[in-house]
């Protein structure tokens, strides 16, 4: 731990968000400005309805996102395709030529809009070979879906059953284990070679599973992979603040209408884009590791994706403020994480 007193302002290279959901249509007008105010680039998840499965769809989606960036801000959406059993290897070359940087694996049934996901990884091997050749990354929602596996064990079992064989079969395919939540994932990623990285969300760094049940069921803390025990949260904080270039910022900010989260069968996802870098700063400050925030938020992801690091900066100040209790999401309401609660760090605009 650092023994010098923590500073009250922090200027770092502008960060990127390596895992983000912005949805489509009216939702873009609310959520894209939040991300563009903080981040220079973001990896855009393709789990729309229907999913983004062609280069042409990714290009059209990129234009809709760009159109929602407020004047005066510069923000670059980095596009991905959604892997299905049927995604053709030929589409990978078209995707690369259209500037798509990665393909997302959702095991079928694992999470929001994953019904078109992969039912058997063997069916995707020709496409994964094309990705390895083309230099596209494989981003993974790393959870098994078998009903006989406990919900809290799904990430660890995914590593054993799927990730280890995949890395053996595709040793030069760059892979990102997204939104890691367990000690097992930290151990596996930490001991792997430079072809494997991992993103970590702010909510998995801030909360353990007690948050979902404190004083009643709290649907705004429900996401997938679900929050885990405190020992796992601590392992994530240690990984993120370690300075290791294998770990980088990915918010998995996932907007849902409040009435679909506060529901008998509530949607998974935490919305954090309105105050993401502030929440990460809080975690790093608490761990006495503010000096490690820039690497995690601004350098490691860009280096892993072999993209240039950003050149401009952002400044955060230690100053209490309270985010709004909700935002408009089209006709619906969007309740952000920390709605109406005090945040100790503030982004200066």
Give the footprint of ligand DOR on residues 113-152 (CB under 6 A). 141
Query: Should residue 252 be labelled a site residue for Zn ion when binding is judged by CB under 5 A?
Result: yes
Instruction: Candidates 44, 65, 176, 224: give the one binding ligand DOR (CB under 6 A).
Output: 224
Query: Should residue 21 be labelled a site residue for ligand DOR when binding is judged by CB under 6 A?
Result: yes
Phi, psi of 106 (to 5 degrees): -110, 115
State the nearest-atom distance from the C-beta of 310 to ligand DOR, in Å.
26
State the nearest-atom distance from the C-beta of 53 to Zn ion, in Å.
17
Binding partner at 51 among ligand DOR, Zn ion, none, C-beta below 5 to 8 Å by kind: none
Binding partner at 47 among Zn ion, ligand DOR, none, C-beta below 5 to 8 Å by kind: ligand DOR
Size of the site for Zn ion (CB under 5 A): 1
Which one of 23-31, 67-75, 154-162, 247-255 is the stretch in contact with Zn ion (CB under 5 A)? 247-255
- Report the alpha-carbon distance of residue 127 to residue 107 in Å, rounded: 16
Polymer length of the chain: 349
How many CB atoms neighbour CB 109 within 10 A?
Answer: 13
| Residue 132 CB-half CA count within 13 A | 15
Binding partner at 57 among ligand DOR, Zn ion, none, C-beta below 5 to 8 Å by kind: none
Helix (H, G, I), strand (E, B) or coil at 278: helix
Query: Should residue 154 be labelled a site residue for ligand DOR when binding is judged by CB under 6 A?
Result: no
Query: Should residue 28 be labelled a site residue for ligand DOR when binding is judged by CB under 6 A?
Result: no
Q: Long-range contact list for 76-79, CB < 8 A, 24+ apart?
A: 76/40, 76/41, 77/22, 77/41, 77/42, 77/44, 78/41, 78/42, 78/43, 78/44, 78/102, 78/305, 78/307, 79/44, 79/46, 79/52
Query: Should residue 155 be labelled a site residue for Zn ion when binding is judged by CB under 5 A?
Result: no
Phi, psi of 210 (to 5 degrees): -60, -30
- The yes-or-no answer on residue 115 being catalytic is no
- Report the alpha-carbon distance of residue 195 to residue 333 in Å, rounded: 40
Give the footprint of ligand DOR on residues 249-268 (CB under 6 A). 252, 254, 268
Cα(first)–Cα(last) distance of the chain, in Å? 30
Which residues are marked as active site? 252
Binding site for ligand DOR (CB under 6 A): 21, 47, 111-112, 141, 223-224, 252, 254, 268-269
Binding site for Zn ion (CB under 5 A): 252
């Amino acid at each position: 731990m650092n023994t010098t007193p923590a500073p009250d302002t922090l200027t770092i290279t502008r960060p990127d968000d390596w895992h983000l959901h912005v949805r489509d249509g009216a939702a873009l007008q609310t959520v894209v400005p939040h991300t563009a105010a903080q981040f220079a680039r973001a990896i855009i998840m393709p789990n729309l309805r229907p999913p983004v499965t062609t280069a042409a769809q990714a290009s059209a989606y990129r234009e809709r996102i760009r159109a929602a960036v407020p004047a005066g801000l510069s923000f670059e959406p980095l596009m991905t395709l959604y892997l299905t059993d049927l995604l053709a290897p030929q589409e990978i070359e078209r995707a690369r030529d259209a500037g798509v940087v990665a393909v997302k694996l959702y095991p079928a049934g694992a999470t929001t809009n994953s019904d078109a996901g992969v039912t058997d990884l063997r069916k995707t091997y020709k496409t994964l070979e094309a990705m390895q050749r083309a230099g596209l990354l494989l981003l993974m929602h790393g959870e098994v879906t078998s009903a006989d596996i406990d919900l809290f064990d799904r990430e660890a079992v995914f590593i054993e059953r799927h990730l280890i064989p995949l890395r053996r079969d595709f040793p030069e395919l760059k892979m990102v284990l997204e939104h890691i939540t367990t000690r097992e994932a930290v151990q596996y990623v930490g001991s792997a070679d430079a072809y494997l990285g991992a993103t970590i969300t702010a909510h998995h760094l801030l909360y353990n599973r007690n948050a979902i049940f404190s004083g009643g069921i709290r649907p705004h803390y429900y996401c997938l992979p679900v929050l885990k025990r405190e020992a796992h949260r601590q392992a994530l904080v240690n990984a993120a603040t370690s300075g290791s270039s294998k770990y980088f910022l990915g918010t998995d900010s996932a907007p849902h209408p409040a009435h679909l989260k506060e529901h008998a069968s509530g949607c998974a996802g935490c919305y954090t884009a309105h105050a993401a870098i502030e929440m990460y700063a809080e975690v790093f400050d608490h761990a006495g590791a503010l000096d490690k925030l820039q690497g995690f938020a601004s350098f490691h992801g860009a280096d892993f994706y072999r993209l240039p690091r950003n050149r401009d900066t952002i400044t955060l100040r230690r100053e209490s403020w309270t985010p709004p209790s909700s935002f408009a999401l089209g006709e619906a309401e969007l309740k952000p994480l920390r709605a109406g609660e005090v945040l100790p760090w503030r982004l200066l605009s």
